[in-house]
A = this chain, B = another copy of it.
Amino acid sequence: MAKISESTVSRLSHYYRVLEEVAAEGGKVISSQLLAEREGITSAQVRKDLSYFGSFGRRGLGYSVEHLREQIRAILGLDRRWRVAIVGAGHIGSALLAYRGFSSQGFDVVAVFDADAQQVGRTTGALQVRHIAQLSAADEIDIGVIATPVRAAQEVAEALVAAGVRGILNFAPRKLRVPDDVWVRTVDMTTEFEGLSFALTQPDGPRRRRAAG
């Protein structure tokens, strides 16, 4: 298959969510135009994104909501369950653990680790915090979440990789060095705040349609 861009994958995820909503509202078919409007993009973008994976629509009619949803579900790999481990039992880790939305989408948090001995043994939700040194391939983790202080992030990434984890969601504001066969996505809130700071600092104000009269 041709290389798929990260932005296409992100948009598929958005389409999937829109389709869930439309399905819940009872919609049976949807056009690329309508799907695009919900996301604030162009209909050509929607059709192009989908075209990388097949022809899911009917000309003159649009897409079956249910069928397209199933297709995207399969494309995104959501037709299976993923074993997730959270490393770092602090605030972000706890927030993720408490959020039940993930499990409904196929992401099961099956373990929580921490490097701090004081955290180990504590019970959070249905899980007991284990020491990071106990993480092993036997845990069969698919995706590791790094929710530790930044100074521990690289070390934790290496422990995850050693345990066979091939996907990492990183909340630490630091570039992680991992082997080429491991995927990392970073959620960097500091950078997001600074991006807003930059935008708000620009003299003219952001995206202002026309100069003030």
Binding site for B on A (CB under 8 A): 1, 4, 6, 9-10, 12-14, 16-17, 38-40, 75-78, 82, 84, 90-92, 94-96, 98-99, 101-102, 105-107, 142-143, 166-169, 173-175, 180-183, 185, 187-202, 205-209
28 inter-chain pairs at a CB distance below 8 angstroms, sorted by A residue, are A1-B202, A10-B191, A14-B175, A14-B191, A17-B173, A17-B190, A39-B175, A76-B194, A78-B197, A82-B200, A91-B94, A91-B98, A91-B99, A94-B95, A102-B190, A106-B197, A107-B193, A143-B200, A166-B200, A166-B205, A169-B189, A169-B193, A169-B196, A180-B209, A183-B200, A183-B206, A185-B192, A185-B195
- Given A40-B175, A195-B185, A105 and B200 contact (CB-CB distance below 8 Å): no
